[in-house]
Amino acid sequence: MGIVDRILSQTDPEAIRREAEENYREYVNPFALRMLKNASLDVIEGRREGASVWDVSGEKYIDCVTGAGIFNVGRRNPVVAEALKKALDVMDMGGWLSVVRERGLLARKLAEITPGTLKYSLFCCGGGEAIEVAVKLARGHTDRTEIICMENGYHGVTGFALPATGRDVYKTPFAPLAPGYKHIPFNDLEAAAAAITQDTAAFLVEPIQGEGGIRPADDEYLRGLRRLCDEREIVLIYDEVQTAFGRTGKMFCAEHSGAAPDIMVLAKSLSGGFQPISCAVFTEEISDFLVTHPFIIINSFGGTSLACLAALATIEYIEENDLPGRAERMGRRFMDGLAALRARYPDLVVDARGRGLMIGIEFPEDSIGPRMAYQLRQNGVITIYTFNNPRIIRIMPPLVITEPEVDFVLEALDRSLAEIRAQEARLRK
C-alpha cells in the first residue's frame, strides 16, 4: 500500500490523533501544537462539507474560522473539486516561463469583475507575497519609497509585508526591517493627510481590519483617501485578502464605498481553498514600471495552470450562486441575533460589528476571547480570537452557510455566554 492510500484509508481516530500530534511535536513545531491546543484549534480534520467540518472522531463543527476567509464557497466545494479532478487528467502546474493560458483567462476575469479600472494581474502564492508585489509596483511607479500603513493592520510576515503590519510583536524579533514604512491611526482622514510627505508612494489599507478586530473602514474615509491620493499622485492599495469574493456582501469590499484602489491584493478565497494562489491587480497607469522591467517581479509557483483553473471555477460558482447576496442576508441574520445576545449579556458583549459574513464580537477583557473559543468548540462551533486583539472573536463561516446553521451558531453563542457568565460568578465568590 502506498503512502497516500495508507493515509486516506486509516480509520482509527485515536491512532490518527496520536500520529498527527507526535509528528507535529517531533518534526513540525511543538510550540505551535501547544498554541493550537490553547486556542481550541487542535482539530484534526476529517470530512469537510459546506459550512461544516468533522474531526477524525466524527464530531461535527460549524467552521467559523475558515482560515480567516479561505473557504468562501464552502469546505471541499464539489464543483471546484470536480474541475480540478478533470484538470489533473490532462495537466500539471504548467511551466511558469511560458504563456500560461489559464493565467491569462483568470487575469481577464479579474479585470472584468474588480472595481474601477483595475486591469493587470501579477500572481503569487500567499497574501504576504502579493503585498510585496503591491509595494514594489507602487515604489516603481512613483519613484518614491514611503508606504503609509495603519496601526493594528495586518498584511503578512514576509520581507516587504512585515514592516507594514501594525503590531511590534510580529516585527521586533526580526529587526532591522526594510525601511520606508509609517503607521497612522486607522479611519482617521486628518491623520492620513498630515502623514503625507514628498516621498510618499502609497497608502496601504484593509477595508476591514481583520486581525485588528474586524474594524470596518468608514466609506467616507476610503473616499477621502481616494481624493488625497488623486490630489497628491499617491498610489492607493487595498488589502482585500480577507474581504474579497463576496465575504462582505459585495464581490469586493471596495464596492461599498465606491472608492476603487490603484492596486488590489487578493488571496485566501481566490481558489476556493484548493490551491495556493494570490495576486495584485493593478491599473494600466501603474503598469508603466513593468514596460522596462517585465520580469523584475516573478514567482515560480504564482498563477499555475491548476491554481488558475480552481480560481476560475470558484469565481464562477460565486457568481452563479450569488454568494455576495447570500453573505449579506446571512450576515443580517447573524447581526439580528447578536443584537439580542448583546441585550441579554450586556456585561459580556461589548460590541458586534462587521459586514456580511465578516463579523467580530468584542468582550470586555482579553481573557474572554480564548475562553469563548473553547466554550464554542464544546458547543459545536470552531472560531478564534483576532491576532491583534484577543478580546474579539471572529465569525467568518463559509458563505454557503444556511439559515439553520446560522441559528445553530447563535444558539451556541448563547450557551457559551451563559457558561462564561456562570464562570465569572463562581470566580467572584
The full set of domains in the chain, from first to last, is 39-69+322-428 (3.90.1150.10), 80-320 (3.40.640.10)
The CA R_g of the chain, rounded to the nearest whole Å, is: 22
Average pLDDT over every residue of 29-50:
92
* Banded model confidence at residue 8, pLDDT cuts 50, 70, 90: confident
Which triple of cell numbers denotes residue 143? Answer: 519613484
Q: How far apart are CA 121 and CA 133, in angstroms?
A: 10
Q: Assess whether pLDDT exceeds 90 at residue 82.
A: yes
Please enumerate in sequence order all residues whose Cβ is within 8 A of that of 136, keeping only pairs 6 or more positions apart, or say none.
Answer: 160, 296, 297
The answer to whether 227 touches 234, Cβ cutoff 8 Å, is no
Q: How far apart are CA 41 and CA 78, in angstroms?
A: 25
The interaxial angle of helices 305-320 and 101-113, nearest 10 deg, is 30
Percent residues over pLDDT 90 in the chain: 88
Average per-residue pLDDT for the chain? 95
Distances (CA, A) of 325 to 50, 320, 387: 17, 11, 28
Residue labelled with grid coordinates 493594528: 152
Q: Assess whether pLDDT exceeds 90 at residue 132.
A: yes
The pLDDT, as a whole number, for residue 348 is 96
The pLDDT, as a whole number, for residue 289 is 85
Compare 1 and 311 and report the one with higher pLDDT: 311
The answer to whether 110 touches 279, Cβ cutoff 8 Å, is yes
Percent residues over pLDDT 70 in the chain: 100
The pLDDT, as a whole number, for residue 39 is 86
* Banded model confidence at residue 309, pLDDT cuts 50, 70, 90: very high
Q: Assess whether pLDDT exceeds 80 at residue 428.
A: no
Q: Assess whether pLDDT exceeds 90 at residue 73.
A: yes
The answer to whether 155 touches 128, Cβ cutoff 8 Å, is yes
* Banded model confidence at residue 60, pLDDT cuts 50, 70, 90: very high
E strands, 272-379, are: 278-283, 351-355, 358-362
Q: Assess whether pLDDT exceeds 90 at residue 425.
A: no
Per residue in 97-110, pLDDT (tens digit) is: 899 999 999 999 99
Average pLDDT over every residue of 189-205:
99
* Banded model confidence at residue 169, pLDDT cuts 50, 70, 90: confident
The pLDDT, as a whole number, for residue 282 is 98
